[in-house]
Structure 1
Amino acid sequence: MKQLRMELLRDHAAIELLSKRLSRLTEAGASAAELAHALKQLVDTVAAHLAIEEAALYSEAMQSLPGFTPEAIARATNEFEKLKTNWTSYCDLWTAEDIASNKPGFIAATKAILQRLGDRVRLETDLLVMAGALDNSRHA
């Protein structure tokens, strides 16, 4: 479990870094090709992360921490599933050609999805850190 937590935390750091890079490129007026390349790197990293991520891991982490009600856990789980669906739609919509033909639309959509993705990564990171601290205190 500890190794999985560490791997997920590394993924989160990479996702945050790649998200910031894509965001900076949108603000700097990068070419459609540069934006598409940065998006592909982020998409590949998120896909690899989702392949190893266990949704149950976060539910277990929330259940083990004080202050998380079953309703809050269900709400967080639903929001995560909605974000995954929206992320998939976003990725399908924005090919290199689509970015080139509608750069302003891409920039607006990217700002919106990166905000939500960042919020989710920060929540997951906090849960992983708190769950790790709890595990360590139980084994001390």
Structure 2
Amino acid sequence: MDMTELRRQHDEISQTAHRLALATADRVNPRSVGTIRWQLARQLIAHLALEDRILYPALQRADDSRTRTTAAALQTETGALAESFSRYMTAWSDDRVAREWADFCVETNAIIRALSERVDRENRSLYPLADKIDNSPARMARTG
């Protein structure tokens, strides 16, 4: 399975999350972060859609039960993280960010930490399993 695009998206998500972390490092002086937050949201939406459409179905068809079990557990966790991120985006309007900057910074850093841990976990445990999956036409014909 070619994981190039998913890995590229992970890099992009990590870079944008890092920019948001830098922008919220100063908890005293509010900064305009709306553009960065929405960029991160768009990247996550695209990434999760690709995982749901390609990665998880392939992992669920894997011959190895460990791969199927790991994928199922991580897919469930992804749903919870996606919900948390969605609540975060909804809860923090630009006006509220400006009014409650310090609290926004704390919550943003918690979200970034959760995203970073998730990206790292997928890179270390899920993606190597996906790399081992045989998506050759012969195998797909046997399982399809």
- TM-score bracket, normalised by the shorter chain, equals 0.7 to 0.9
Q: Which runs of 5+ in 1 are unaligned?
A: none
Are 2:59 and 2:68, in contact at CA under 8 Å, matched by a contact in 1? no
CA distance change for structure 1 residues 21 and 69 in 2, over 3 Å: closer, same or farther?
Answer: same
**Residue in 2 that maps onto 1:100:** 98
Q: Name the TM-score, length of structure 2 as normaliser.
A: 0.74
Partners of 2:108 and 2:116 lie apart in 1 by 12
Identity %: 26
Q: Which runs of 5+ in 2 are unaligned?
A: 137-144
What number of residue pairs does the alignment pair up?
132
Deviations 1:32-58 (Å, cap 9, x if unpaired)? Answer: 32x222212211211222232227724
Partners of 2:64 and 2:13 lie apart in 1 by 25
C-alpha deviation, 1:10, in angstroms: 0.7
Partners of 2:24 and 2:63 lie apart in 1 by 39
**Residue in 2 that maps onto 1:10:** 8
Are 1:23 and 1:111, in contact at CA under 8 Å, matched by a contact in 2? yes
Partners of 1:94 and 1:74 lie apart in 2 by 31
The structure whose Rg is larger is: 2
Query: Which structure carries more helix by proportion?
Result: 1
**Residue in 2 that maps onto 1:57:** 55
State whether structure 2 residue 82 is matched by structure 1 residue 118: no
Alpha-carbon RMSD across the aligned residues, in angstroms, is: 2.7
Q: Name the TM-score, length of structure 1 as normaliser.
A: 0.76
